[in-house]
Amino acid sequence: MTSQQNKARLRGTTILAVRRDPLVAIGGDGQVSLGETTVKRDARKIRPLLGGQVFCGFAGATADAFALLERFEAKLEKHKKNVRRAAIELAKDWRTDRLLRRLEAILTVMSSDTLLMVSGMGDVIEPTDGVIGTGSGGMYAAAAARALLAHSELPADRIVEESLGIAADICVYSNREIVVEKLQTTAAARTVDEGIR
């Protein structure tokens, strides 16, 4: 690929996921850039799967990400909603299939009990600190989220929103058109159920 072609590639996106009981949250900005030009400000990069039981954020080529989301949802159905198993099976296919290997995207997957990053290199990563940042502003957002986790009492969804805003102020490929989705964590849901009995 020539440097001119590389400059004209679509890029952008900051995806952040944070776990802080009783919530887990995922969010993304809305900017899509072509080279040095913003071509869309309100893209929705967080998608519900299985009727909102799982949320997936994507960074990278949009068409590639949609192809992967379809495959991931099929894996979830095949493996009876087991998110880890579905992610591992997707990563194996992604790495070994000649056509899939060309897809350029990173998925961040969230359910009530699982938070994962899945890449085409065969990686399925679960963070020990409950924070995943991907995309052009992902590291800025993740750093802000870690600081807010350590020095505030904000819930996970507010941490995601604030951190994405900080990343948007730093990364020229991100903006403040932010979408955040949240789920109650499994431990929190269990506590609520036990309190009802």
Query: For the residues of 106-165, what is the DSSP string, one character each?
Result: EEEEEESS-EEEEETTS-EE--SSSEEEEETTHHHHHHHHHHHHHH----HHHHHHHHHH
How buried is 36 (Cβ within 10 angstroms: 0-12 exposed, 13-18 middle, 19+ buried)? exposed
Give the SS3 label for residue 180: strand
Give the tokens for residue 150. 């350590």
Active site residue 186: no
Instruction: With beta carbons less than 8 A apart as the criterion, state whether 107 and 57 touch.
Output: yes
Annotated catalytic residue, options 13, 14, 108, 185: 13
Task: Report the C-alpha gap between 79 and 15 in whole angstroms.
Answer: 26
Distance of alpha carbon 111 from the chain centroid: 11
Catalytic residues: 13
